[in-house]
Amino acid sequence: MKSGAPPAGKPPRNPGLRELIAGKRAWSEPLDADARERGFLGWHARGYMPHFDAPGVTQFVTFRLADALPVSRRAEWEALLRIEDDRERRQQLEAYLDHGFGECWLRRPEIARLVGDALCFFDGQRYRLDSWVVMPNHVHVLVEVWQTPLAQLVHSWKRHTSREANRLLDRSGHFWEREYWDTLIRDEAHRVRARRYLQNNPVKAKLARDSAEWPWSSAHKGKLEGRPT
């Protein structure tokens, strides 16, 4: 390994990350005491990219099964991790997930239903779901954060569903990958693009002809309830 190269399985280092975070904190409005007490972090680093954590923002979140990037195909996905541009790297990795590697436990109706129900359980109470989709080996959620930090929301979704999924599958061990990807939604146009990408994911992955046909999604649920999708 060359000096300064990232460890195996990790994206490239971002040596300017600390300065970038400091700059973003300097021009952004600081969090109030209540938000800090609740655990919000504002602009912060998690790994190799800047992240923004605050009440009242909308986030596009992706989390995946523990084996969605299998060791047997490591050479393939590690090449994607080495892409230096953050946006391009994430797009390529999400496209790679659509190949459906790993056990794809979320393809099983009872597991997909479990995850969808967990996402919707506190919708309108602790957060507001804009849209969501459960794919065979990963999940996308477009969520408006209220008074619970995003990391806590994702942790609660994973904790409940991993326990119940392992019980249904009669297995033990890690169900979800510990890390997740999140992108701050900047404005309404960005929200529309993110929603369109999310809803179209089953079609792009050739799992359905139309987004509303995929049973494990807000688009399908909205169609059943007579709401616009």
The predicted pLDDT at position 42 comes to 79
Measured distance CA(225)–CA(167) in Å, rounded? 30
Question: Domains of the chain (ranges plus CATH)?
Answer: 55-224 (3.30.70.1290)
DSSP state of 65: B
CB 105 within 8 A of CB 117: no
Residues β-bridged to residue 52: 43
- Terminal CA-CA length for the chain: 49
The H or E element containing residue 17 is helix 17-27
Q: Which of 198, 13, 10 lies closest to 119, judged by CA?
A: 198
Sign of CA dihedral 89, 118, 208, 128: negative
Residues β-bridged to residue 143: 59, 129
One digit per residue, the tens of pLDDT, for the chain of length 229 reads 343 444 445 544 555 656 655 655 666 778 889 888 888 887 777 665 667 888 999 999 999 999 998 887 878 877 777 767 677 877 888 888 988 899 999 999 999 999 999 999 999 999 999 999 999 999 999 999 999 999 999 999 999 999 999 999 999 999 999 889 888 999 999 999 999 999 999 999 999 999 999 999 999 987 666 666 5
The predicted pLDDT at position 23 comes to 58
Q: Which of 140, 103, 127, 130 lies closest to 214, judged by CA?
A: 140
The predicted pLDDT at position 228 comes to 60
The predicted pLDDT at position 92 comes to 82
Instruction: Please give the angle made by the CA atoms of 211, 213 and 216, to the nearest 5 degrees.
Output: 85
The predicted pLDDT at position 223 comes to 65
The predicted pLDDT at position 10 comes to 52
DSSP notation for 166-204: HHHHT--S--B-S--EEEE--SHHHHHHHHHHHHHHHHH
- Show Cβ contacts of residue 219 under 8 Å, excluding neighbours closer than 6 positions: 131, 133, 199, 211, 212, 229
Q: Is 177 left (phi over 0), alpha (psi -120 to 50) or beta?
A: beta
pTM, two decimals, is: 0.83
Q: Which of 127, 140, 120, 135 lies closest to 205, judged by CA?
A: 135
